[in-house]
Homo-oligomer: A and B are copies of this chain.
Amino acid sequence: MAKELTPRSENYSQWYQDLVIKADLAENSAVRGCMVIKPYGYAIWEKMQAELDRMFKETGHVNAYFPLFIPKSFFSKEAAHVEGFAKECAVVTHYRLKNDEESKEIVVDPDAKLEEELIVRPTSETIIWNTYRNWIQSHRDLPLLINQWANVVRWEMRTRLFLRTAEFLWQEGHTAHATKQEAIDETIKIINVYAEFAENFMAMPVIKGLKSENERFAGAIDTYTIEALMQDGKALQSGTSHFLGQNFAKAFDVKFTNKEGREEYVWATSWGVSTRLMGALVMAHSDDNGLVLPPKLAPIQVVIVPIYKKMEQLGVISEKVDTIVAELKAKGISVKFDDSDNKKPGWKFAEYEMKGVPVRLAMGPRDLENGTVEVARRDTLSKEIVPLEGISEYIERLLEEIQQGIFNKALDFRTKNITKVDTWNEFKETLNKKGGFIWAHWDGTSETEEKIKAETKATIRCLPLDNEQEEGACVYSGKPSKQRVLFGLAY
């Protein structure tokens, strides 16, 4: 088989890289850190986008579009924000190229220097809140519930396809509210939307929680996160929702007249998920044979491969297949009949396994005689012979079962990989030998958090939302602690 992956057990990181390339999801481009999202990868992203967009609209949000460029001076207006993003941003300084007379080369025209440099947006709070100043005067203009689908650029030094790229695609919500409570409610509403999307569509269990101060978004009062566990025991932050308080309203002077006629600064949230979710999807479920896709996000849910020796057999098989295809399509199931004659069935089987197509049907002359078809599940790699009678209902149920099965498997893995530890030795041992989430007491200080990170690279992934209060001693400092938090190595 031409397309083999490095096994996960041998080199997980190489397995991921191999898989993203060989399943035709994405590849590195000629531009440092920027990826090309290939058609098959983009088709999955489009399905993610469609579901998320529907969920945002159902919760009252509308889409809009703001400029790609942010004037440098805007950037500097919120101190924590610029501190967080200045070190890794692409800067536009000129607006023209020209032919150099001497070298005959195309060069930047020094006469076309911008008065003020423009930053390619790494996130849009500053340009958006500068715009909101003109949109918001009265409490009647609130809430403003706006989302944007866009590309952003962060000049990361070490990049990995989907997980960390200089340019990535995302959605960023930016909402404005009349009260603090309303803004906090919005922040939580969205983290719930993200969790629902991750669990019901990506089949990926997540833990919802608050970030510690060290891990907050630059400019936020509170950052909510959903954290997922990958098969190598590392955590992946999959979506964040920020309560921004009045920080951006103050930086951009956005006030409104409240119901009592007094002027107040506006309350803000922002929230986003990105093409990073593609990386999470790959790493949460896939195996050494290739992608495993949850049916709800699979561009092709069912593939049908004919098995034949003579061309006339293909004709008879195709006739039968056409009725199956029609039945499946009528149920809204996406199906591909691969009757290409330049590839052997074995090659096709391996190819669709690599691409994570949830269900494969194989049909040969004997199946036709017996009124059966071979049905193979991608997630379990199991096969069975099924009667053609009622096949579309069978597949419909099977797809649901697969969606649930993939989720259950990931949940089971996560359950086994959350370890409660009470001593620093246990902490280090668990981290080294097992990985996963470590559930330990912490004294609540940034100082301790930084020391733990320096010694182990582990970070606080979150303070889970449904946390129980429990008296204890910090696993590192021994100081008193009111609750356990989730530690882990992270992507």
Q: Say yes or no: is A97 at the interface (Cβ < 8 Å to chain B).
A: yes
Q: Which residues of B contact A39 (CB under 8 A)?
A: 62-64, 146
Bound CA span A166–B409, Å: 49
Cβ contact within 8 Å between A36 and B131: yes
Q: List 22 A-B contacts (CB under 8 A).
A: A29-B66, A30-B67, A30-B71, A30-B74, A30-B127, A31-B69, A31-B70, A34-B67, A36-B64, A36-B65, A36-B66, A38-B64, A39-B64, A42-B63, A43-B62, A68-B167, A72-B106, A82-B97, A90-B118, A91-B93, A91-B94, A92-B120
Bound CA span A70–B45, Å: 23
Bound CA span A98–B76, Å: 11
Q: Which of B106, B108, B151, B342 contacts A140 (CB 8 A)?
A: B342
Cβ contact within 8 Å between B92 and A88: no
Cβ contact within 8 Å between A86 and B92: no
Cβ contact within 8 Å between A106 and B146: no
Q: Which residues of B contact A34 (CB under 8 A)?
A: 67-69
Q: Say yes or no: is A262 at the interface (Cβ < 8 Å to chain B).
A: no
Q: Per-residue CB proximity of A111-132 to B under 8 Å, as 1/0?
A: 0000001111000000100110
Q: Which residues of B contact A82 (CB under 8 A)?
A: 97, 106
Whether A97 touches B119, Cβ cut-off 8 Å, given contacts A30-B130, A62-B43, A76-B105, is yes
Q: Whole-angstrom distance from the CB of A237 to the nearest CB of chain B?
A: 22
Cβ contact within 8 Å between B63 and A127: no
Whether A117 touches B127, Cβ cut-off 8 Å, given contacts A42-B62, A86-B96, is no
Q: Which residues of B contact A155 (CB under 8 A)?
A: 95-96
Q: Which residue of B lies closest to A145 (CB)?
A: B39
Copies in the complex: 2
Q: Say yes or no: is A277 at the interface (Cβ < 8 Å to chain B).
A: no
Q: Say yes or no: is A302 at the interface (Cβ < 8 Å to chain B).
A: no
Q: Which of B29, B42, B86 contacts A106 (CB 8 A)?
A: B86
Q: Say yes or no: is A46 at the interface (Cβ < 8 Å to chain B).
A: yes
Q: Which residue of B lies closest to A41 (CB)?
A: B64
Q: Say yes or no: is A75 at the interface (Cβ < 8 Å to chain B).
A: yes
Q: Whole-angstrom distance from the CB of A300 to the nearest CB of chain B?
A: 12
Bound CA span A249–B55, Å: 43
In the complex, which residues 263-321 of chain A have their Cβ closer than 8 Å to any Cβ of chain B?
A: none
Bound CA span A70–B90, Å: 13
Bound CA span A131–B96, Å: 25
Q: Say yes or no: is A458 at the interface (Cβ < 8 Å to chain B).
A: no
